[in-house]
């Protein structure tokens, strides 16, 4: 009987570490964003000015639901060029600026093997993003934006600091799609590499 | 707790933005607009008349004619550009083929904004209780005035050779906008920048 209780206690303790049900996970990551598709013609360069923050609640050992917010900023200054609009020529130094602030509901799946530091996962986020699009000719701006639909699948892995830790590194790759059309930009597509930390909190 | 963290992270990181307007040098801020009728053969024109004053279009100072040193620099620069392009300068009374009109646009607009939001504390006021009205708040009364200015050079080339009908034709309109364009030292660069995108205005 005593042995059974001992085994039960040990199992319960380790179960707390490795079972995810009843836990919430908070994750904050720095995002490196690469523009893809028609967005590349607007801003070409990879941006390191971005972050992602998410909250996930585990409804059982594999499935979680929650929400994600974030921010990314793209900027590019072009050399002086002459642009032709009908019978008018405009010579200007153009600057392109874009900010995307997503806020999405996410659902996630992650299968954890006991005793492993690596905890891979796959998420799908759907929601919307605040978009601010600016096309500058010198100091004259043409801007557009608004709240646009966004969808964002993600795969990644958590790397716990050690076997018993409820915190660790969180790295993931995400594809982001936002339905925003203006001028030459047909949709906003980016691929982001996110690196940060996570920690579990008991509910 | 998670909301607070997300909120804080948003505040901290959203200040991380490359501001386009602050990332431009003065010369990068210059915008040149060249608007001309297609198919005009400038080689067919010989003489050009350029007045000795600049038209001021301003809602601050009233419309007027300027002959100050800035106006003189601009006129001199346009004269030398036209001569370099092969045209001959002549007086207005000498039946010139083309006329050039130079205007300086300097408008200023005052706008009012009213701040109504919860983020705007009414600091520096007695609480309404002091005035004998406990439980009262403040009606929105904060006004902010801000100025926007519109600055530009507008240069027009007028056809004085083919004057049939009773209206004069403007063959070409050039506009220069940007920072420091009313600085005499900028004049040679901005005139060159403008006429560089209209190389067809030439007798050569």
A68-126 pLDDT per residue, tens: 999 999 999 999 999 998 889 999 999 999 999 999 999 999 876 667 788 899 999 99
Residue A18 has pLDDT above 60, yes or no: no
Task: Decide: B42 and B201 in contact? Cβ < 8 Å.
Answer: yes
Residue A2 CB contacts under 8 Å (≥ 6 apart), including other chains: none
Distance CA B118, CA B125 (A): 16
Q: Closest to A92 (Cβ–Cβ): which among B5, B14, B31?
A: B31
Find the domain containing B157 and state its range: 30-110+148-196
Q: What is the pTM of this model?
A: 0.77
Interchain contact, B13 vs A137, CB within 8 Å:
no
Tell me the per-residue pLDDT of A47-76, one tens digit each, with 9 for 90 and over.
999 999 999 999 888 899 999 999 999 999
Torsions phi, psi for B145 (to 5 deg): -105, 135
What's residue A28's pLDDT?
A: 92
Task: Render the burial of A111-132: b for 16+ CB within 10 Å, e for the rest.
Answer: ebeeeeeebbbebebebbbbbe
Domain boundaries A2-202, corresponding CATH code: 2.40.160.20
d(CA B66, CA B106): 12
Q: What pairs with residue B80 in β-bridges?
A: none
More confident residue, A187 or B17: A187
Residues B25 and B16: their CA atoms lie apart, in Å, by 21
- Model confidence band, residue B9 (pLDDT cutoffs 50, 70, 90): low
Q: Cα–Cα distance between B45 and B195 in angstroms, integer?
A: 17
- In angstroms, the Cα distances linking A159 to A116, B52, B202 are 9, 76, 70
Domain assignment present for residue B53? The answer is yes
User: Hey, of A86, A87, A89, which one would you mutate to test binding to chain B, going by the most B CBs within 10 A of its CB?
Assistant: A89
Give the CATH number, domain containing residue B154. 3.30.160.670
In this complex, is the C-beta atom of A24 within 8 Å of any C-beta atom belonging to chain B? yes
Nearest C-alpha in B relative to A82: B197
Asked whether residue B104 carries a pLDDT value surpassing 60, the answer given is yes
For chain A, give every domain's residue range: 2-202
Query: Cβ of B99 under 8 Å from any chain A Cβ?
Result: no
- Is residue B71 within 8 A of residue B55, CB to CB? The reply is no
Interface probe, candidates A26, A45, A53, chain B, greatest B C-beta count within 10 A: A53
Flag whether B184 is in a domain: yes
With an 8 Å Cβ cutoff, are B13 and A24 in contact?
A: no
Q: What is the pLDDT of residue A165?
A: 81
HSE, CB side, 13 Å, CA atoms: give it for residue B137.
6
Asked if A93 and B29 come within 8 Å (Cβ–Cβ), the reply is yes
- In-domain check, residue B87: yes
Res. A7: pLDDT tops 80:
no
In a domain, B9, yes or no: no
- Could you tell me if A156 and A121 are in contact, meaning their C-beta atoms sit under 8 angstroms apart? yes
By C-alpha distance, the chain B residue nearest A137 is B31
**Mean pLDDT, residues B56-74 taken together:** 89
Chain A residue with Cα closest to B30 = A138
Q: What are phi and psi of B38, to 5 degrees?
A: -70, 150
Q: Is residue B160 part of a domain?
A: yes
Asked if residue B65 is part of any domain, the answer here is yes
Q: What is the pLDDT of residue B152?
A: 94
Q: Does A87 touch chain B (CB under 8 A)?
A: yes
Count how many domains chain B has.
Answer: 1
Tell me the shortest Cα–Cα distance from B110 to chain A, in angstroms. Answer: 19
Q: Could you say which residues from 15 to 44 on chain B have a Cβ atom under 8 Å away from some Cβ of chain A? A: 16-21, 23-24, 28-38
Phi and psi of A139, rounded to 5°? -105, 20
**Contact: B30, A101; criterion CB under 8 Å:** no
Among the partner-chain residues B14, B31, B198, the one whose CB lies closest to the CB of A140 is B31
Size of interface A-B (CB pairs under 8 A): 103
For residue B91, give every residue at least 6 positions away whose Cβ sits within 8 Å of its Cβ, in sequence order, or none: B49
At A197, give phi and psi (nearest 5°): -125, 155
**A88 reaches B (C-beta below 8 A):** yes
Task: Provide mean pLDDT across the span A127-137.
Answer: 94
Share of chain A above pLDDT 70, in %: 88
Task: Evaluate whether residue B140 is within a structural domain.
Answer: no
pLDDT digits (tens, 9 = 90+) for B153-176: 999 999 998 888 888 889 999 999
**Tens-digit pLDDT profile for residues A133-144:** 999 999 888 999
Please state the rounded mean pLDDT for residues B81-85: 95
What distance in Å separates residue B203's CA from the closest CA in chain A?
A: 20
The overall average pLDDT reported for chain B is 83
Residue A43, CA atoms < 13 Å, CB-side half-sphere: 27
In this structure, is residue B11 part of a structural domain? Answer: no
Q: Please state, in angstroms and rounded to a whole number, the distance separating the CA atoms of residues B95 and B3.
A: 77
A53–B30: do the CB atoms touch at under 8 Å? Answer: no
Q: Which residue has the higher pLDDT, B187 or B164?
A: B187
Q: Does A203 touch chain B (CB under 8 A)?
A: no
List CB contacts (< 8 A) between A72 and chain B: none
pLDDT at B4 over 80: no
- Chain A stretch 144-183, residues whose beta carbon is closer than 8 A to a beta carbon of chain B: none
List Cα–Cα distances, A120 to A93, A110, A152, A155, A173, in angstroms.
Answer: 46, 6, 17, 8, 12
Q: Are B190 and B153 in contact (CB under 8 A)?
A: yes
């Amino acid at each position: 009987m005593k042995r059974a209780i001992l085994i039960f206690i040990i199992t319960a303790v380790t179960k707390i570490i490795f079972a995810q049900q009843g836990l919430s996970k908070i994750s904050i990551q720095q995002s490196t964003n690469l523009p893809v598709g028609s967005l590349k013609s607007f801003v070409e360069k990879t941006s390191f000015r971005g972050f992602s923050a998410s909250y996930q609640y585990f409804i059982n050992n594999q499935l979680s639901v929650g929400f994600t917010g974030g921010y990314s900023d793209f900027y590019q200054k072009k050399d002086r060029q002459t642009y032709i609009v009908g019978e008018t020529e405009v010579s200007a130094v153009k600057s392109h600026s874009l900010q995307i602030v997503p806020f999405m509901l996410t659902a996630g799946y992650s299968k954890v093997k006991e005793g492993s530091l690596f905890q891979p996962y796959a998420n799908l986020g759907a929601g919307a993003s605040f978009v601010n699009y600016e096309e500058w000719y010198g100091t004259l701006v043409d801007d557009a934006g608004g709240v646009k639909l966004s969808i964002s699948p993600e795969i990644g892995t958590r790397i716990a600091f050690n076997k018993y830790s409820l915190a660790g590194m969180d790295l993931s790759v995400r594809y982001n799609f936002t339905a925003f059309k203006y001028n030459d930009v047909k949709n906003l597509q980016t691929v982001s590499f996110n690196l940060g930390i996570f920690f579990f909190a008991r509910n | 707790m998670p909301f607070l963290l997300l909120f804080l992270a948003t505040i901290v990181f959203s200040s991380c933005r490359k501001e386009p307007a602050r990332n431009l040098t003065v010369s990068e801020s210059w915008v040149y607009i060249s608007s001309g009728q297609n198919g005009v053969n400038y080689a067919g024109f010989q003489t050009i008349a350029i007045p000795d004053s600049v038209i001021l279009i301003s809602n601050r100072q009233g419309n007027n004619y300027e002959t100050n040193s800035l106006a003189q620099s601009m006129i001199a620069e346009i004269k030398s550009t036209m001569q370099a392009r092969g045209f001959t300068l002549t007086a207005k009374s000498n039946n010139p083929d083309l006329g050039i009109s130079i205007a300086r646009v300097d408008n200023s607009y005052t706008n009012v904004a009213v701040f109504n939001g919860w983020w705007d504390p009414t600091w520096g006021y007695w609480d309404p209780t002091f005035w004998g009205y406990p439980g009262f708040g403040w009606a929105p009364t904060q006004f902010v005035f801000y100025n926007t200015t519109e600055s530009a050079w507008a240069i027009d080339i007028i056809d004085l050779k083919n004057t049939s009908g009773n209206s004069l034709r403007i063959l070409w309109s050039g506009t220069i906008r940007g920072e420091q364009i009313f600085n005499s030292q900028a004049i040679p660069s901005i005139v060159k920048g403008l006429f560089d995108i209209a190389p067809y205005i030439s007798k050569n």
